[in-house]
Amino acid sequence: MANLEATVYDLEGNPVKKITLPKVFETPLRPDLIQRAFLASFTARLQPQGRDPMAGKRTTAESWGVGYGVARVPRVKGTSRAALAPMTRGGRRAHPPRVDKVIVERVNVKEKRLAIASAIAATANKELVKARGHRFNDDLSLPLIIIDDLESINTTIDAKKFLAKLGLWQDVERAKEGTKIRAGKGKMRGRRYKEPKSLLIVLGEDKGAFKAFRNLPGVDVTLAKNLSIKHLAPGGVPGRLTLYTENAIAKLISERRFE
């Protein structure tokens, strides 16, 4: 198979040269593995919840048995007040959540690596990127690779100007317009807003760009060494609009994490 090439853009949005892409971009699409790896990563950060095993059971209640003309529910010693049973006041729960419930989906290490490699390759597929709903200029070639000067952008104003010149600001606006207040009680628990995912920016080194881009609606910023399936395929759906620096591409080659 011939080596894949990609166009490198400058901060003005002009193509300046072409580079050879690493072999990870030739990985076949595996949406099944991507979904599994995402669920494994997502569930790993869930906190187990349960109830005190003795909740509702700290009582002297015992059933009287038969022959008294009353229901055989447990009753507090010395009284006729029902307790302990699920339908009684202060009684135990019938089926409480248990802390030993398995809530984490495990995935094999090699499957996880293949899933991340497949998700990286999906960022170079225009059809998949558009299927996720991302908006960008059709004349841009994917994957989007920018010169290393991007890593030195240190203000959000400059970040916005750069995205506008490259034709990517419309995707940030899409995320801003799609931000909604969550339905249900989650909005009282620190999860008030649901925000669509927009750009993913992968840096080789942080020289200020992290703070410049991170507060834009839907935009995520990460280093190449920390790149994960949650960044590349939010919700387990591949094809996120991703922007790499040349340095980040070099790090993907040097680390050989996905081979």
* Contact (Cβ atoms closer than 8 angstroms) between residue 3 and residue 20: yes
Picking from 111, 122, 108, 107, the residue whose alpha carbon sits closest to that of residue 24 is 122
**Band of pLDDT at residue 258, cut at 50, 70 and 90:** low
| pLDDT, tens digit, 9 for 90 and up, residues 142-179 | 999 999 999 999 999 999 999 999 999 999 999 999 99
Q: Which CATH superfamily is domain 5-24+121-255 in?
A: Ribosomal protein L4/L1 (3.40.1370.10)
- pLDDT at residue 4, as a whole number: 82
- Token couple for 106: 């495990």
Q: What confidence score (pLDDT) does residue 1 get?
A: 45
Q: In angstroms, rounded to a whole number, what is the distance separating the alpha carbons of residues 219 and 162?
A: 14
Confidence category of residue 255, pLDDT binned at 50, 70, 90: low
Give one DSSP letter per residue of 2-47, joined into a string: PPPEEEEE-TTS-EEEEEEPPGGGGPPP-HHHHHHHHHHHHHTTPP
Fill in the amino acid letter for 180. K
Cα separation values, 103 from 34, 55, 94, Å: 19, 22, 21
Side-chain-side CA neighbours of 147 within 13 Å: the count stands at 11
Report pLDDT digits (tens) over 171-218.
Answer: 999 999 999 999 999 999 999 999 999 999 999 999 999 999 999 999
* Look-up of token digits 């495990």: 106
As a whole number of angstroms, the distance between CA 70 and CA 64 comes to: 9
Distance CA 4, CA 207 (A): 29
Secondary structure E strands in 135-175? 144-146
Q: What is the mean pLDDT of residues 38-45?
A: 94
Q: How confident is the model at residue 99 (pLDDT cuts 50, 70, 90)?
A: confident
Residue 17's DSSP bridge partners are 8
Q: Is 97's pLDDT higher than 60?
A: yes
- Between CA 243 and CA 204 the distance in angstroms is 12
What does pTM read for this prediction? 0.84
Cβ-count burial of 250 within 10 angstroms (0-12 exposed, 13-18 middle, 19+ buried)? middle
- Calpha distance 149→168 (Å, rounded): 17
Average pLDDT of the chain to the nearest whole number: 93
Residue by residue, DSSP assigns 191-202 as --EE-----EEE
Q: What is the pLDDT of residues 113-130, one digit of tens each?
A: 999 999 999 999 999 999
Each residue's pLDDT tens digit, 13-35: 999 999 999 889 999 999 999 99
